[in-house]
Chain A
Amino acid sequence: MIGRRLALSAALLPLLPTAPLRAQMRYPVNPVTLITHSSPGGGSDVFLRELIKHLQPVMGVSFAVENVRGGSGATAVARVARSAPNGGTFYATTPTYIQTSYLSRPEVRWDGLDPMAIVFLDPEVIYTRSQSSFRTLKEAMDAAKANPGRQRWGAANPASLERIAMERLNRLTGARAAVVSHEGGADLMVGVLNGTYDVGIGEIQEVKAQLEAGRIRLLGVLTESRLPEFPDLPTAKEQGLDLVVTKFRGLAGPKGIPDDIAAMWEQALRTVLASPAYRDVYTKEALVPVMLGREQARRFTAQAAEDIGAALREMGVIR
């Protein structure tokens, strides 16, 4: 019932001025349903709804976003895995669906879906409050190294990539800092602002409000290269810390989708990512476009799953 209502509202989105329709084979299914486990207004939901505004004119079909919640993503994954492999249904992937596969026994695991594309990486930053004496990540880590077992670092959810990153940082530096996990980013931000934590970790989007107000300072970004939006912010690697977090956003479908459909998606996504209107939107949110097609996305996802599994085992979360 609710799903129907959401689908309807998405279909009624005003069509944007149309980009030239590509002279190619027509997409065989209309409308296409994109499923997310996130609630309306949540991360993947906003990502999809923005994406379809730009994708609609390029692919020449309508899209419906459906929020299938419950089971930490397992319900949505199972739903997509059971759908017909005709290109009509996709799931918006994030590392969550891999984590859920490790943390419980869902009906369909992450490898029950076939990755179709990896579109963006969400850059993670390490930050501190503006009253802090630390100017760079290196300064903070040097201080932590000099006084092992004294610093306190904040991260979001306990089984998240952010916590994994902070535990890795602990091992890289030997700081023996206390890594405190939270329920989402809000409590964590309060803890950094009131000085409970020396540093915190989060997505740019989560820390933007405080950054604009000058209440926090970014110390380093955990990507391979600097972000165009923040050219003065050095990466952790530049500061001598081999730490990169790959939090991805992509699409996956049921197994057995024909190759020509995959090719059409890859081409459409590349066109959309290159369009100035969409680029404005995603650079503002500091999303890093990567665009991996089906073959690469499969390898990427398998590697990500292996890394997450290894990290969860190392932290003792799973056996």
Chain B
Amino acid sequence: MDHIASALGGWTVPAAFAGCLWGIFGGALPGISPSIAMALLLPFTYGMEPVTAIVLLASVYVGAEYGGSIPAILIRTPGTNASAATTIDGYEMARQGKAGEALGISLVSGLVGGLFGLAVLVLATEPLAEVALAFTPMAYFSLAILGLSVIASLSGGSLLKGVIAACLGLLVATIGSDPVSGVPRFTFGSPDLLGGVRPILIMVGLFAVSEMLVQIGEPAWGKAEKRDTRLKLPSFGMQRRLFRAQAIGCGIGTFEGVTPGAGGTVAAFMAYNEAKRWSKQPEEFGKGSPEGVAAPESANNVVTATALVPLLSLGIPGSNSAAILLGGFLIHGLQPGPMLFEKAPEVVAGLYWGLLLANIAMLLLGLVILTPALWLVNRPKPYLIAAILALVLSGVFAIEQSFFDVGIVLTAGVVGYLLRLAGVPTLPLVLGVVLGFMVESNYRRSLVISFGDHWVFLQDPVSLILLSLAALLTAWSLWREFGRKT
């Protein structure tokens, strides 16, 4: 019991709450990704106790992954990459006047995911670290292909348009340094493009900016329209219905979090896809299904804990956010890795308790914040749109103080608007941008390793399993989405 008291003493509790609050705001603001929200706080942790600093940063991560769902539901603009999948059914629910209910589901599902992920982290770090170690470039390639296999169900009816959008995304991902040779591609000599186009910028443009353009073209909200402005947590019956979707989210989130790579974004998309596949009411998906909010939101919050598995046990950061946390450890002279559990067990224990507190904080803060948020989005439309655009663009500019980034966002916004007019779904495009680099770089690494032999993808056992799974799931989805109609 002593270590509980010591872990919870001092600044741990305030750090968890403050971190979570900052994270929710950062996550909710489109353009501020969880890793940026963490990076902004990092310099303030230099003078803190190690445990306080680590708990603060990890709590930001927890809060930010949840916060992303708030604008995804309310204004169809995901605050983070990982909440893109939530826009589909979350915004649909909001349009039906059930925004309060959708926010409640997202909050509870995030909590379920966060606690499940924490349990996995505490109980199964050792065996899961071995899973992370089994991944070769071949396996990463196949994992990314598995992620791309959800395109069919994101295409909203037209597979051809979905594939076109995904290819556009993959093309955007080829901008930047060539992953194998280092030759600059499509950069036109600009150093701003050397590192590639960050997916968050495309995301902000495609969703926030193009949504605002669409909204401008529509009439103002009618006064009489009945809009639910009260937060509503899921009832017992509803929670029973959501259980399956949340379980799917937890399972997929665990797997995706542990394997370094695309992390929460792919986890959320895949969880959405599988929740639809196994749902008793699959026809509701895309038309405001509560399960369609629960699955991705539990998945991306599981990742906040399980992404720490490779970091803590191997010292290997699996995502940008984990890399910032690694920086937080290093600044305090702590080296995450196999020896951390022996050298600084109090920091590990403190982190576990801190994550638990962060999840509790997320629930409490969510209850407080969501009602004003609901009120806010029901303000007159012209003010709302102007304020959102100003907030989003200044946020994008502030991060790197770069007008170039603002240009990318605006371009993506116009392109997104045109795509929407043409009825092309934008979610596959996002998936392409997020996964494009992972697909290409690992495909080419594998071929360098095999000296050009393509069989290498089937000889690697993990890769073989993932590719077979991808083939199976794709065939099944295609049949479900398009086969039965003809």
Known: A1-B398, A180-B137. A41 touches B327 (CB 8 A): yes
| Residue in B178, B183, B260 with the greatest tally of chain A CB atoms within 10 Å | B183
Q: Which residues of B contact A149 (CB under 8 A)?
A: 451
Min CB distance A271 to B, Å, is: 24
Q: Which of B137, B182, B326 contacts A159 (CB 8 A)?
A: B182
Known: A13-B47, A46-B327, A180-B448. A71 touches B194 (CB 8 A): yes
Q: Which of B182, B336, B338, B449 contacts A157 (CB 8 A)?
A: B182
| Contact between chains at B183 and A213 (CB < 8 Å) | no
Q: Which of B182, B187, B316 contacts A190 (CB 8 A)?
A: B316
| Contact between chains at A104 and B189 (CB < 8 Å) | yes
B-contact 0/1 string along A1-36, CB 8 Å cutoff: 111011001101110000000000000000000000
Q: Which of A103, A189, A209 contacts B182 (CB 8 A)?
A: A103
Min CB distance B94 to A, Å, is: 31
Complex: how many Å from CA A2 to CA B402? Answer: 12
Complex: how many Å from CA A160 to CA B184? Answer: 13
| Contact between chains at A2 and B47 (CB < 8 Å) | no
| Contact between chains at B328 and A213 (CB < 8 Å) | no
Q: How large is the interface on A (under 10, 10 to 19, 20 to 34, 35 or more residues)?
A: 35 or more
Complex: how many Å from CA A193 to CA B405? Answer: 37
Known: A6-B43, A74-B191, A152-B449. A159 touches B327 (CB 8 A): no
Q: Which residues of A contact B324 (CB under 8 A)?
A: 39-41
| Contact between chains at A193 and B133 (CB < 8 Å) | yes
Among B43-72, those with CB < 8 Å from A are 43-44, 46-47
Complex: how many Å from CA A315 to CA B180? Answer: 11
Complex: how many Å from CA A14 to CA B189? Answer: 43
Known: A41-B324, A212-B339. A158 touches B137 (CB 8 A): no
* Residue in B closest to A187 when the chains form the complex, CB atoms: B260
| Contact between chains at A106 and B191 (CB < 8 Å) | yes
Q: Which residues of A contact B47 (CB under 8 A)?
A: 12-14
| Contact between chains at B260 and A190 (CB < 8 Å) | yes
Q: Which residues of A contact B42 (CB under 8 A)?
A: 40-41
Q: Which residues of B contact A12 (CB under 8 A)?
A: 47
Q: Which residues of A contact B340 (CB under 8 A)?
A: 209
A-contact 0/1 string along B164-191, CB 8 Å cutoff: 0000000000000111111110010111
Instruction: Determine if A145 is an interface residue (Cβ-Cβ < 8 Å).
Output: no
Instruction: Determine if B296 is an interface residue (Cβ-Cβ < 8 Å).
Output: no
Among B323-350, those with CB < 8 Å from A are 323-324, 326-328, 330-331, 335-340
Instruction: Determine if A270 is an interface residue (Cβ-Cβ < 8 Å).
Output: no
Instruction: Determine if B284 is an interface residue (Cβ-Cβ < 8 Å).
Output: no
Known: A72-B195, A193-B133. A9 touches B44 (CB 8 A): yes
Instruction: Determine if B231 is an interface residue (Cβ-Cβ < 8 Å).
Output: no
Complex: how many Å from CA A182 to CA B328? Answer: 23
Complex: how many Å from CA A67 to CA B47? Answer: 18
| Contact between chains at A9 and B46 (CB < 8 Å) | yes
Among B397-412, those with CB < 8 Å from A are 398-402, 404-405
Min CB distance A217 to B, Å, is: 15
A-contact 0/1 string along B17-40, CB 8 Å cutoff: 000000000000000000000011
Complex: how many Å from CA A186 to CA B40? Answer: 23
Instruction: Determine if A215 is an interface residue (Cβ-Cβ < 8 Å).
Output: yes
| Contact between chains at A41 and B402 (CB < 8 Å) | no
Known: A41-B331, A72-B195. A209 touches B338 (CB 8 A): yes
Among B78-114, those with CB < 8 Å from A are none
Min CB distance A37 to B, Å, is: 10
Min CB distance B72 to A, Å, is: 25
Q: Which residues of A contact B137 (CB under 8 A)?
A: 180, 187, 191, 196
| Contact between chains at B179 and A183 (CB < 8 Å) | yes
Min CB distance B464 to A, Å, is: 16
* Residue in B closest to A103 when the chains form the complex, CB atoms: B184
Complex: how many Å from CA A306 to CA B43? Answer: 36
Min CB distance B25 to A, Å, is: 15
| Contact between chains at B136 and A2 (CB < 8 Å) | no
Among A183-205, those with CB < 8 Å from B are 183, 186-187, 189-191, 193-194, 196
Q: Which of B136, B335, B399 contacts A191 (CB 8 A)?
A: B136
A-contact 0/1 string along B297-340, CB 8 Å cutoff: 00000000000000000111110000110111011000111111
Known: A1-B398, A70-B192. A181 touches B180 (CB 8 A): yes
Instruction: Determine if B435 is an interface residue (Cβ-Cβ < 8 Å).
Output: no
Instruction: Determine if A68 is an interface residue (Cβ-Cβ < 8 Å).
Output: yes
| Contact between chains at B314 and A105 (CB < 8 Å) | no
Complex: how many Å from CA A302 to CA B136? Answer: 39
| Contact between chains at B449 and A186 (CB < 8 Å) | no
A-contact 0/1 string along B146-174, CB 8 Å cutoff: 00000000000000000000000000000
Known: A75-B402, A212-B338. A181 touches B179 (CB 8 A): yes
Instruction: Determine if A317 is an interface residue (Cβ-Cβ < 8 Å).
Output: yes
Instruction: Determine if B239 is an interface residue (Cβ-Cβ < 8 Å).
Output: no
Instruction: Determine if A316 is an interface residue (Cβ-Cβ < 8 Å).
Output: yes
Complex: how many Å from CA A12 to CA B180? Answer: 43
B-contact 0/1 string along A43-77, CB 8 Å cutoff: 00110010000000000000000001111111100
| Contact between chains at B191 and A104 (CB < 8 Å) | yes
| Contact between chains at B338 and A196 (CB < 8 Å) | no
| Contact between chains at B182 and A186 (CB < 8 Å) | no
Q: Which residues of A contact B402 (CB under 8 A)?
A: 70-71, 75
Q: Which residues of B contact A249 (CB under 8 A)?
A: none
| Contact between chains at A104 and B184 (CB < 8 Å) | yes
Min CB distance A139 to B, Å, is: 22
Instruction: Determine if B132 is an interface residue (Cβ-Cβ < 8 Å).
Output: yes
Known: A104-B187, A105-B191. A190 touches B135 (CB 8 A): yes
Q: Which residues of A contact B339 (CB under 8 A)?
A: 209, 212-213
| Contact between chains at A183 and B46 (CB < 8 Å) | no
Q: Which residues of A contact B318 (CB under 8 A)?
A: 186
Min CB distance A45 to B, Å, is: 8
Min CB distance A313 to B, Å, is: 12
Complex: how many Å from CA A17 to CA B187? Answer: 49
Min CB distance B397 to A, Å, is: 9
| Contact between chains at B327 and A40 (CB < 8 Å) | yes
Which residues from chain A sit less than 8 Å from chain B, CB to CB? 1-3, 5-6, 9-10, 12-14, 39-42, 45-46, 49, 68-75, 100, 103-106, 149, 152, 157-160, 163, 178-183, 186-187, 189-191, 193-194, 196, 208-210, 212-213, 215, 312, 315-318
19 contacts between A and B (CB under 8 A): A10-B43, A14-B47, A40-B42, A41-B327, A41-B328, A45-B327, A68-B401, A70-B405, A71-B402, A71-B404, A72-B191, A74-B191, A104-B184, A181-B180, A189-B314, A189-B316, A190-B135, A209-B335, A210-B315
Knowing that A14-B47, A104-B184, A182-B445 touch, tell me 19 more A-B residue pairs with CB under 8 angstroms: A10-B43, A39-B327, A40-B42, A40-B324, A46-B330, A70-B400, A70-B401, A71-B192, A71-B402, A103-B177, A103-B184, A104-B189, A160-B182, A180-B448, A181-B179, A191-B136, A208-B335, A209-B336, A317-B182
The 8 A-B pairs with the shortest beta carbon distances in the complex, nearest first, are A41-B327, A209-B337, A158-B182, A209-B315, A159-B182, A213-B338, A74-B191, A105-B189
